Every structure is written in structure tokens, then in C-alpha cells.
């Protein structure tokens, strides 16, 4: 069996495509998002390795949401029985036709059934948004915030999970991603958005000279210790002069508390 799509267009490595061809499936997948979303081909793949557990007559090749949920429900029971643990995000992304989800899930099944590893795919972070596609477009052709929400949230997601709070979190995450992308665009091309440098950004700074002068002044103040004046020695030499010790606290002048003893003559 030969496939219409080339490995480059499908996004699958050549070894995975050859593996799919060797299984002699009912029909060759040409559009991976659509063909794998209902779980029929996934069940057929596992039926070649576990024919006693999967009976293809109980699966239906349809496009409605009810058929999808029925097929994937049977697959979920099979995964539990055989102690197989596919990533739940991959299953949800495949059901809801997320970008790249079906391709990654097929490769995950390939490594699960053949004990072979695809390093350049499995080591990447799973991202089922259209971020990579948007990065390839020019700035004027990229999606707005409302368009990004419509593209990255499918209607089937809302039908399966009608919880308002969960859907609100998904929308907030998409808006946050969109705003981060917009900020990055403004940094990359400030002239297009009419961003001008502020006076502080245009000013010439010499932080090394200022830091050196400030540190030198601070060290000089810290090293200097106040000493009594020479006049007190002359007064001490005279007879009949009494002294009284006064404690003076100079906290405002120095960065630390210094207790200075000043002797005042008592005549």
C-alpha cells in the first residue's frame, strides 16, 4: 500500500510511515487530524498486536462526536486492561483535532508497540496550539486575540467539557500566550509600532565610575574613627580642672551607630 502524502508533508518520520504501511490498514491516512480523531484507525493498529482484545466490528468509522466518544471509551478500557499508559493530553488533542496531536500520538504508539525510540520528537515539549504556524507568518497576517481563541479551542472541547470555569482558564491561557507574542513582536520591530526610546534609554550612562566613587566614599567613612582633639590634652595637664563623661550618639551622620565619648571640662 502506498501513501499519497510524503513524509515531509505528514510530519512523520519515514520509519513510522513504513510501519503504518506494513499494517495494511483499511484506508491510508491522508489527513492525520481528521483520520485519527475518531479512534477507528487507532483501534485497527492495536488489533494487529492484540487481536483477542480488540474486535473491529464494535468500532464505527464515523465523524460525529458520539461515535468518537464511543470508540475512545472502548480504547480506554483496552488501555487499562493491558496496562498501557498513553498520554492523556495526546488522546484529547487527537479527539479534538489539535495541531500535531495525531502525529505525535501515532509516534507514541509506534514506540509503545515496537520498543523503538524517536528522539527528536519525544524530547520536544508538547504544544497543541498554532504558535509554530503563527511564527512562520508575517506580522500583518498573524491572528488577533479573538481569532486565536477560535482557532485553539474546538467546539467539541466545549461539548465534551461544558464547565465554564475550565473553559475560561483555557481562554485566559490563550490570551496570555497571544499577549506575550505581541510583546515579542514590539521588541523585535519597534519602528512598526511607532515605539520611541525614552530620554532615560537615550542617555549615556557610566555606572562603573559612579559605583566606584560611591564605594570609595563609603569605605573612607567606614574606616575613619573620630579621635579626641589635642585641646583636651592641654586641659588635662592643668590642676583643679574636673572632667565629666558625656555619651553622644551620632546615628544620622554615619551608616552605623558610633558612640563617641567627649570629655567636657568642669571648672
pTM: 0.60
CA atoms lying within 13 Å on the CB side of residue 118: 22
pLDDT tens digits for 207-263? 665 555 666 666 666 555 555 555 445 545 555 656 566 666 655 554 545 454 545
pLDDT tier at 204, thresholds 50, 70, 90:
confident
Torsion from C-alpha of 98, 102, 107, 108, nearest 10 degrees? 70
CB 144 within 8 A of CB 177: no
Closest by CA position to 223, among listed 251, 256, 249: 256
Phi/psi for 169 (5° steps) reads: -65, -40
Tens digits of residue pLDDT in 106-126: 999 999 999 887 765 544 556
Q: For 159, list phi and psi in degrees, rounded to 5.
A: -70, -40
Amino acid at each position: 500500500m502506498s501513501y499519497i502524502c510524503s513524509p515531509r508533508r505528514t510530519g512523520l518520520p519515514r520509519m513510522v510511515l513504513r510501519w503504518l504501511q506494513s499494517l495494511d490498514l483499511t484506508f491510508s491516512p491522508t489527513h492525520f487530524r481528521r483520520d485519527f480523531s475518531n479512534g477507528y484507525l487507532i483501534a485497527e493498529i492495536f488489533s494487529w498486536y492484540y487481536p483477542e482484545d480488540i474486535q473491529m466490528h464494535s468500532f464505527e468509522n464515523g465523524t460525529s462526536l458520539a461515535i468518537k466518544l464511543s470508540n475512545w471509551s472502548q480504547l480506554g478500557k483496552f488501555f487499562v486492561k493491558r496496562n498501557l499508559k498513553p498520554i492523556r493530553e495526546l488522546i484529547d488533542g487527537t479527539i479534538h483535532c489539535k495541531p500535531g496531536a495525531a502525529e505525535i500520538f501515532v509516534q507514541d504508539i509506534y514506540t509503545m508497540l515496537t520498543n523503538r525510540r524517536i528522539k527528536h520528537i519525544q524530547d520536544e515539549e508538547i504544544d497543541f496550539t498554532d504558535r509554530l504556524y503563527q511564527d512562520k507568518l508575517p506580522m500583518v497576517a498573524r491572528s488577533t486575540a479573538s481569532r486565536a481563541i477560535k482557532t485553539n479551542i474546538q467546539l467539541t472541547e466545549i461539548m465534551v467539557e461544558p464547565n465554564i470555569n475550565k473553559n475560561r482558564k483555557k481562554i485566559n491561557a490563550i490570551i496570555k500566550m497571544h499577549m506575550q507574542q505581541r510583546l515579542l513582536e514590539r521588541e523585535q520591530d519597534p519602528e512598526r509600532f511607532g515605539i520611541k526610546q525614552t530620554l532615560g534609554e537615550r542617555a549615556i550612562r557610566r555606572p562603573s565610575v559612579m559605583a566606584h566613587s560611591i564605594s570609595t566614599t563609603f569605605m573612607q567613612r567606614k574606616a575613619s574613627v573620630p579621635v579626641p582633639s589635642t585641646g583636651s590634652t592641654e586641659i588635662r595637664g592643668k590642676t583643679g580642672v574636673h572632667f565629666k563623661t558625656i555619651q553622644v550618639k551620632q546615628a544620622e551622620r554615619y551608616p552605623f551607630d558610633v558612640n563617641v565619648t567627649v570629655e567636657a571640662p568642669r571648672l
